[in-house]
Amino acid sequence: MGKSVFFNALMGSYRADVSNFPGTTVELTQGSFQGFRIVDTPGVTGLSADNEEERVAKQAVFEADRILNVVDAVNLKRDLFLTLQLAQLGKPMLIALNLMDDAARQGLTLDGKALENQLGVAVIPTSGRRGTGMDRVKTMIAKDGFSIPKPSTVHAPSSRELRLEADRLAALAIKRPGQRSSLSGRLGRAFLNPVLGLPLLTLMLTGIFLVFGKVLAQTVVGFTQTVVMGTWYFNWITGLLYPLLDPDSLMGGLLIGEYGILTMVPIYLLGLLLPLVTGFYFLISLLEDSGLLPRMAVLSDRLFTRFGLNGKAIIPTLLGFGCVTMALVTTRILGSKRERLIASALLCIAIPCSAQFAIILAAASFLTLPYLIVYSGAIALIFFVTGSLLNLLLPGASTDLFLTLPPLRLPAGGNLIKKTARKTRQFLCDTGFMFLLGSLIITVLNHTGGFTALHRLLSPLTQTLLGLPRETAALFVMSIIKRDLGAAGLYSMMQQGLFTQPQLTVALIVMTLFVPCFASLFVLWKEQGPAAAVLIWLGSFLAAFTAGGAASLFLR
């Protein structure tokens, strides 16, 4: 935590994702500066290749010519251990004593010069967030102010001796120890209190649901989709092109038809998804930056151990609501291959991704309470069954929770906005292309009568098994291309009043559990291998139709 902020401040642009918990950077981010190629590694506390992050960091450090060691001033004792390990490599080093603003706030006073004398390496106090000291870092890099650490500090061989040496250095450098602010400390502890923690969490999640369902979905989207895009924009674009195009021709269909590139794509993307996704990413960023995620990991540890995971798995799980594809990579923070596989399967099967989740929340807010309970019950059940089954069937044991909790803090507004904007832009780029492709495929299917055939072909599934209108077959095709596209289609069918309450419940269940998008499948294949990817893909098919069919029977 803090290192990516530093990296961004150094490179002068927003490149790496930043959060208030370790594990945000799981891959290397690169940039160039004054002819140097600079590689941002995952933040680690040692070099012993205990997990994927450490392996990645270790490799990068071994390949590097020079090391810019970003030390967390607040956790000096901890980071001096890694510093001594790095010093043993005998490579030229420069130390940035980062988070000095946090240190000052806690009343922590540090003597950088003492460290400099002991280590024989320049130590520069910095704050990546405020930009203080960054000019000096840049000057030092430019004039190659890196130096090889003094040999006197690099003789210690065992980690015990390294620890004692790190403690000795810390004692020399810390002039006055700091204290965590009592408010942050007390609030942080309230979340860990068995009586207060869960209600606090429930309250928060309910708040999120209300903001989403009521304010964003019904008020904001009602305006952006129905009025701005659905009426003003639609009338303008069709008015412009109707004289030139026959809407019944293939070309007319492709451009301004029901699923057209100039009609459906911008209306769904900008009118419906943009406001929902922006709101959603803002919430996720808020959770990330406040330091609440690791506390949620502690609260949920007991639950996750039933699935052969530990509480840390809540981090990829929650990030999965943002984007399953990204979360599949984040599973690298988990301790074993077994845990990564279980978490990946849960992500692909039971976790809907951002736009889909936002739409589901919005749609669910139209459900009455009993149906809402059936819906959430079904999803929770599938999550539970999948996790427990995998834990039972997969050989081996999982690792235990051992987690350092960052302080709770009020997120910086600037970082929140930047992060939300970056994620939203990324979403529009990724999704935009798939939507264009989807629009193309669907229009051609529609024009050639393929859709009618498909509706008929899949009607045993849609009508008989699920009790849904046969047009929902189109949603499944859309979903395979891109889950959000299917979800947007579902939302618009719902707005047209094509679903009864039980039908909407069943449709939502099937869409939530339905197969991961192409991008996720690709990452899954890369990270877990073809066998696991295909099995998980088929598993989500099975889960979707079994749960949907059961719910449909139950509600009939």
Output the smallest distance, CB 192 to another protein, in A.
4
Which among 520, 519, 472, 531 has a CA at the least distance from the CA of 496? 472
Does 192 bind another protein (CB under 8 A)? Our answer is yes
> Buried (b) or exposed (e) across 159-174, using 16+ Cβ within 10 A?
eeebeebbeebbeebb
Does 184 bind another protein (CB under 8 A)? Our answer is no
Exposure on the CB side of residue 513, measured as CA atoms within 13 A: 29
Selected binder of another protein within 78, 136, 138, 422 (CB under 8 A): 78
Query: Using CB under 8 A, which of the segments 45-53, 325-333, 352-360, 542-550 binds another protein?
Result: 45-53
CA dihedral (464, 466, 470, 475) positive or negative: negative
Output the smallest distance, CB 152 to another protein, in A.
22
Does 384 bind another protein (CB under 8 A)? Our answer is no
Selected binder of another protein within 2, 23, 294, 516 (CB under 8 A): 294
Site string for another protein, 92-131 (x = CB under 8 A): --------------x-------------------------
Can you read off the two tokens belonging to residue 465? Answer: 């098994």
Query: Using CB under 8 A, which of the segments 173-181, 457-465, 484-492, 522-530 binds another protein?
Result: 173-181
Pairing of strands 123-125, 29-33: unpaired
Selected binder of another protein within 156, 241, 261, 405 (CB under 8 A): 405
**Which residue, chain included where needed, has tokens 């849904």?**
468
Query: Using CB under 8 A, which of the segments 300-308, 420-428, 466-474, 503-511 binds another protein?
Result: 300-308
Output the smallest distance, CB 75 to another protein, in A.
7
Length of the chain: 556
Decide whether 305 or 365 has the Cβ nearer to another protein: 305
Work out the end-to-end distance of the chain between its first and last CA atoms, rounded to an integer number of angstroms. 51
Query: Using CB under 8 A, which of the segments 188-196, 440-448, 454-462, 545-553 binds another protein?
Result: 188-196
Output the smallest distance, CB 235 to another protein, in A.
57
Query: Strand pairing partners for 110?
Result: 174
Selected binder of another protein within 38, 60, 241, 298 (CB under 8 A): 298
Selected binder of another protein within 81, 259, 375, 383 (CB under 8 A): 81
Which among 289, 268, 319, 271 has a CA at the least distance from the CA of 417? 289
Binding positions for another protein, 151-170, rule CB under 8 A = 159-160, 163-164, 166-167
Can you read off the two tokens belonging to residue 182? Answer: 């009592």
Euclidean distance between CA atoms 304 and 212, whole angstroms: 27
Q: Are 125 and 112 in contact (CB under 8 A)?
A: yes
Decide whether 239 or 396 has the Cβ nearer to another protein: 396
CB within 8 Å of 256: residues ≥ 6 apart: 237, 238, 241, 242, 245, 247, 262, 263
Site string for another protein, 301-340 (x = CB under 8 A): xx--x----xx-----------------------x-----
Selected binder of another protein within 31, 33, 45, 218 (CB under 8 A): 45
Decide whether 391 or 424 has the Cβ nearer to another protein: 391
Which among 27, 317, 73 has a CA at the least distance from the CA of 16? 27
CB within 8 Å of 195: residues ≥ 6 apart: none
Q: What are phi and psi of 214, to 5 degrees?
A: -85, -55
Query: Using CB under 8 A, which of the segments 22-30, 46-54, 275-283, 356-364 binds another protein?
Result: 46-54
Can you read off the two tokens belonging to residue 172? Answer: 């020399």
CB within 8 Å of 552: residues ≥ 6 apart: 465, 466, 467, 468, 502, 506
Does 450 bind another protein (CB under 8 A)? Our answer is no
Output the smallest distance, CB 398 to another protein, in A.
10
**Contact positions vs another protein (CB under 8 A):** 45-46, 48, 50, 74-75, 77-78, 81-82, 106, 159-160, 163-164, 166-167, 177-180, 188-189, 192-194, 197, 294, 297-299, 301-302, 305, 310-311, 335, 399-405, 407
